[in-house]
Structure 1
Amino acid sequence: LEHTNIYGSSLFRGIWEWGFLYKETQVPDQELYKRKYTSEPYWSPKHAGLISISDSLFSMWNKTSTCIEIQRGRAMINNNYFGDDIGNAMNISHDADKVTITNNQLNGNRLISVTKKTILIANNLA
C-alpha cells in the first residue's frame, strides 16, 4: 500500500484555538526526537478553558492514559458512555475551577478527583 501525506513529509497535530476552531500545526523537531520509533505517539497540546462533553461514546481507549483529564478551568461532562475496563475514565486536578460530572456510565472505569466545593460528581453509574 502506498500512502501519500497531503501535508508533505512532516508530522502534524491537532490544536484548538480559543474560538474552539480546530487547526493543525507541525510537530516541533524536539518532540519528534524524543521518540525511538516513528510509530510512537507524540505529545499534543490540550485546550484550557471552558469545555463541555456530552453524549459521547468512549469505547476504545488506551488503558495507559486517561480518557478525559481536567487540569484547569471549568468543565461539564455528562451523559457519556465509557467502554468496559478502559482504565481511567476521568481525572480532575486540584487546579480545576468548577467541574460538573453527572449521568455518565463508567462501566468499571475509575473517576479520580480531589474533594472541592466547586466539583460536583453525581448520578454516575459505576
Structure 2
Amino acid sequence: MQGYLIDAFPHDPAALIADRPGPVLIVQGGCDLQMTPQDARRLAGAAPWAEPCLPERMSHALKEVNPADNLASYADPDRPIAPDLVRAVAGFVTRHAGVSAFIRAGNDPRTASRADA
C-alpha cells in the first residue's frame, strides 16, 4: 500500500481527469470525512462534461450515514452501499454503454457532436 500511495501523491487528479477522453462520473459524499466538496468541484471544473453524483448522506466508505454515526459505518460490513450511489452508477453505465467502442475507433466524445456519439 505504501508504494501505491508514494506513486499516487505526485499526480494531480484534475490534470488526469482533464485528459480523460471518455465519460466521467464524479462521486462525492456529503458526509465524507476524507474528501471535500471543493475536491469534487475542482474535478468538475477540469472536466465540464463530467457527471456529478453527490449523495448528501454518503460517507467516504460509500455508505449512507447519519453524520452522528459516520465513523461507525467504516467498521460495519453489513451496512449497504448508499442507494443514491447505486442508482447513479447504474444510470451512468446505462447511458454510456456504447462509448468505449466509440473511443476505441479513434473518436473523442469530448469534441464529437451528439449525433456522432
TM range (shorter): under 0.3
Name the TM-score, length of structure 2 as normaliser: 0.26
Higher relative contact order, structure no. (Cα contacts within 8 Å, ≥ 6 residues apart): 2
Which of the pair is proportionally richer in helix?
2
Which of the pair is proportionally richer in strand?
1
